[in-house]
Every structure is written in C-alpha cells, then in structure tokens.
Amino acid sequence: MHFVIMGCGRVGASLARSLERGGHDVAVVDQDPAAFRRLGPEFAGRRVEGVGFDRDTLLQAGIEQAYAFAAVSSGDNSNILAARVARETFGVEHVVARIYDPDRAEIYQRLGIPTVATVRWTADQVIRRLLPQGHAPEHTDASGAVIIAEVQVDPSWVGRRLSQIESATGTRVAYLTRLGEGTIPGPDTVYQEGDLVHLTIPRARVGDVERVLDKAPPAQD
C-alpha cells in the first residue's frame, strides 16, 4: 500500500521507516530538504520537498494512490489543514493528524479527523490508525488467538447501539474512545460520529469483522 507522510521530524521519519520495513511504499513531504536526512540512507521511498497541504505537492507525493495520510509536522493548523485536504479533496479515507494542543482534540474529532496529542504519541499508535487493524492489534492474548483492535466503522452505523455491532460481528466491544476519552459503554450506548470502537476479536475473524462494519448495517425490524 502507498502512504503519504507530511513532516519529517523524529516521529515522521520513524513512522516512514516502520511502514517501509512492513513492505509498504512511502512518500515523505517536508519543506526543509535537510530534514530528509533523518530517514537514513536505507530509505527507498519518495522525498518530496514542499508544503504538505499544497495540491501540487501532494500530487507529486502520490496522494491520488494513497491508502492513508499522516500529518505529523510541528504545526497544529498545518496538520489539520493537510489532513482535511487529503480527505476532502483527494478522498483519502485513512487520515490521522498530530496535535500539540490536546484541548483542541474535540474540535478536530468533530471534523472527522482522528488526532493524536503529543503526550500520547508513538509511531505505533499512528500505524494502528492507518493500517488495516489485523496488522497492528492494540493487545494480543498470550496464545495469540484473541486481539483487541480499533476497527473502522462505516458512517451508516451512526445512531445504532453498540450492542448491534456486537450482534452483527459476533464480537465484544472492549471500550470506546469518544472525543479523546476512553469509556466502557453500557447496553444502550449509541455509536456517534467520531467514535473509535475497540473490539475483542478472535484473530482468525478480523477480516470478516472488518467486512461487516465496512458496509451499512442490516435493516432494523
């Protein structure tokens, strides 16, 4: 898969190298050409000099073929603007933005852009948001048979109870992240726009669960 990363600081460079080691194609965008030195001589991906929310720069980075986009520069506004351009202009479905001000996370979540505040930032967290969830589970039991993973849910599930997600997938909701805060849902908790759903899934069924939640829910009686 092709990934575009805006920002070649320590996090961006680490993320790029991790994705490339996983066999993916990576393009890194940064205004400062000297920043690309952080990638190291072994990095084989594209190095694109320019502003990460500029249309021509993103086209040069292959945004039209991108599976996912990560905005991890040093500026909150630039990251959110770039993430919105990637999603709204180029239709990139999997987008994540780094922020320095955690108080603004709620605003960004309402825009539909998953964000990670600096205090919680690691390259692994970003990879979990970008890759299909079977690739990077949040937790795996000792036998490797059961995982907890954040699974993408189609927007058509908004307004449905989480118990319906459990019933349709044969899984259990481990916890819910809403507006940046983790919570254990009750039996009547309803899925809202911007929620992140973390499911307990048998590893062998991850693909099946993702396919169920990637389409509209069954009609209600």
- 3: helix, strand or coil: strand
H or E element that contains 13 = helix 10-21
User: What confidence score (pLDDT) does residue 121 get?
Assistant: 44
The proportion of the chain whose per-residue pLDDT surpasses 70, expressed as a percent, equals: 84
Where does the pLDDT of residue 149 fall: very low under 50, low under 70, confident under 90, or very high at 90 and above?
confident
Other beta carbons within 10 angstroms of residue 170's beta carbon come to 12
H or E element in which residue 59 lies: helix 55-60
- Classify 148 as helix, strand or coil: strand
| Confidence at residue 119, expressed as pLDDT on a 0 to 100 scale | 43
First and final C-alpha spacing in the chain? 39
Helix (H, G, I), strand (E, B) or coil at 42: coil
Contacts for 54 with CB less than 8 Å, ≥ 6 apart:
none
Compare 176 and 139 and report the one with higher pLDDT. 176
Q: Please tell me the pTM assigned to this model.
A: 0.58
Query: Is pLDDT of 91 > 70?
Result: yes
